[in-house]
Structure 1
Amino acid sequence: PAAAAPPPTKAADASVPELVLPRSAPKRLSILEIAVDAPFTELSVGASGQLDAPPPDNNNLVGWFRGGATPGERGTSIVAGHVDTKTGPAVFLLLSALKPGSRVDITREDGTVAIFTVDSVETFSKARFPNERVYADTPSPQLRLITCGGDYDRKAKDYEDNVVVFAHLDSVK
């Protein structure tokens, strides 16, 4: 007997609606694989035209760009966190250790948990950061996790690179 065909995927079956959540602010980020369990604060674009970082005095806090999509909403949701602070390691210290297939959970204000799957983890020079690729609006719910990486420039008192995790909404609970 012939083997049964696999069930259609969401992308292949137009009768299955795309998974998109209504707007709801994020409350907590959980990434079990790298021991992250952190609350959110809101971030905005500063006078420099760049996204402000979360406050440097809390090593277990992530920031969400409030001017963009909420996690699970159609579009790109931007979340930033420190790799370290003056007092030691911070929330995104191990962010670069994530791999395609890693899971990122975001508990939202409405009580739902948006579950994202990592597509890629990439490092970019801050001098040649691909703003359009990272921040561009997307037709589906996507997530970008951003932190510093690469070598530390003692003169500039900053890292030379950014680590960016690209992920997509996979499910909801």
Structure 2
Amino acid sequence: MTSTWWRGRRAPLVLVVVLLVVLATLVVVLSGPGEPGQAAPPQVTERSVAPVEPSAGPEREAVAGGMAKADPVSIDVPKIEAKSSLVPLGLNADNTVEVPPVTQPMQAGWYVHGPTPGEVGPSVILGHVDGNKQKGIFFRLKELAPGDQVSIARKDGTTAEFAVTKVERVAKDKFPTDAVYGDTTEPELRLITCGGVFDKASHNYLDNIIVFARLLAR
């Protein structure tokens, strides 16, 4: 009976001792360099907070860095069969952007106070949808879609190749000036013409068609 009684009490006692040892070990492990009895906060390493850098390479650098300044000579938009030389356009007396002569609707122009096509920033090219009772250079501009290409030949002998990213139709009284002319971190292009309903009273279209494009890697 004695031995049986001892065995019956020994198992719980051993279990208590084992539990005490385990608890003591956990306290030591969790305390670490922090306050006694508290888990140490996780250490933030440089790797865990450093931003992920984009992969480097010639193609990435060509787009991010852009091309050298060079005046554009001509534009070619194969999908809509639009080809034209480019004339420089400045500002009118009321600070609105000049447009090519309406008597020459097939003539496109580039805004000289912005970056040249291929430079970092938004280059802007304008053309008529029609004029002088004829179709204009950008008559079919609204047909462009993401992925379509635009080529700009430049005076230095190079060509800036762009891919369309989006096409928008916006009311002229809500023209997105910042989106069109605001700074960008990469070389981009804007093609602008008139569109929408033609107002006979004012002899003007009520909307603008705006094509946004980005420079393709060389």
TM-score, normalising length: structure 1: 0.90
> Over aligned residue pairs, what C-alpha RMSD do you find?
1.3
Partner of 1:12: 54
Distance 1:171 1:110 in 2: 18
* Gap regions ≥5 residues in structure 2: 1-52
Partner of 2:96: 50
- Alpha-carbon offset, residue 47 of structure 1: 1.4
* Gap regions ≥5 residues in structure 1: 1-10
Decide whether the 8 Å contact of 2:187 with 2:214 is kept in 1.
Answer: yes
Distance 1:14 1:94 in 2: 38
Q: Which structure exhibits the higher relative contact order, with contacts defined as CA atoms closer than 8 Å and separated by 6 or more residues?
A: 1
Decide whether the 8 Å contact of 1:114 with 1:171 is kept in 2.
Answer: no
- Alpha-carbon offset, residue 79 of structure 1: 0.3
Decide whether the 8 Å contact of 2:62 with 2:217 is kept in 1.
Answer: no
- Alpha-carbon offset, residue 61 of structure 1: 1.0
* Identity, % of aligned positions: 37
Q: Secondary structure at the match of 1:58?
A: coil
Partner of 1:59: 105
Q: Which has the larger radius of gyration?
A: 2
Q: What is the aligned length? A: 162
Q: Secondary structure at the match of 1:122?
A: strand
Distance 1:155 1:171 in 2: 46
Partner of 1:68: 114
Partner of 1:5: none
| Corresponding residue to 1:163 among 209, 212, 216 | 209
Amino acid at match of 2:55: D
Q: Secondary structure at the match of 1:60?
A: coil
**Greater fraction of residues in helix:** 2
